[in-house]
Amino acid sequence: MILRITFLFSFLLFLLPETASAALAPAVAVSVETPAATDLSRKAMEAKLGRKLKFTERIALGIARKQVKKQRTAAAPGGQLDTVSLLAGIFGILTLPLLFLGAAGALTALAALILGIIGLGRTREDGFRNGKGFAITGVVIGGLYFLLLLLVIGLIALAFND
């Protein structure tokens, strides 16, 4: 286990010296404009090495990509709250009191589900948007509403199936 961890860190130090040194010493900020930080594709690393990456090297490259993405989003001032994600969270929370009011609950649950899916895509696609939690809230509550609705319909159908 220690050998694998040592290998992963040595791989990071060999291929990505700026990123790896920042991962080992978190107090030092990495400049995201460095060439190693901007081109972390698998093809570029394979071209740099002149061979295909091993499995553990691909894992280390994925970890390095995530670290650079975190640093880029942390370097962004504040970030922008995604309005679609916020609306998904609001409609999801509004679904709870309207749960048993029929069409009103179904409409808010449908809006929460659709807006939540769109909001998740927008926050994942653009690292500078916030609101992923609101989008997840909308998707979960909207999805649970429709699962509960299907369960109730199924129970009613079983009750009248005599």
* Structural domain containing residue 150: 80-159
* Long-range contacts at 1-4 (CB < 8 A, ≥ 24 apart): 4/56
Distances (CA, A) of 158 to 150, 154, 155: 12, 6, 5
Question: Would you state the pLDDT for residue 157?
Answer: 93
Residues 148 and 88 in one domain: yes
How many domains, in total, are found in the chain? 2
Q: Are strands 80-81 and 129-130 parallel, antiparallel or unpaired?
A: parallel
Residues 58 and 126 in one domain: no
Residues 56 and 14 in one domain: yes
> Could you list the pLDDT tens digit for every one of the 162 residues in the chain?
454 555 454 554 455 444 444 444 443 344 444 444 457 778 888 888 889 888 888 888 888 888 877 776 665 566 788 899 999 999 999 998 888 787 888 999 999 999 999 999 888 876 667 888 999 999 999 999 999 999 999 999 999 986
Residues 23 and 39 in one domain: yes
Report if pTM > 0.85. Answer: no
Which residues contact residue 131 at a Cβ distance below 8 angstroms, ignoring those fewer than 6 apart? 81, 82, 84, 85, 86, 89, 119, 123
Residues 40 and 104 in one domain: no
Q: Answer with the one of 75, 99, 118 that is the final residue of a domain.
A: 75
Q: Answer with the one of 41, 75, 109 that is the final residue of a domain.
A: 75
Residues 101 and 128 in one domain: yes
Residues 92 and 61 in one domain: no
Residues 71 and 87 in one domain: no
Residues 70 and 87 in one domain: no
The rounded distance, in Å, linking the Cα atoms of 73 and 93 is 28
Q: Answer with the one of 75, 99, 120 that is the final residue of a domain.
A: 75
Question: Would you state the pLDDT for residue 27?
Answer: 38
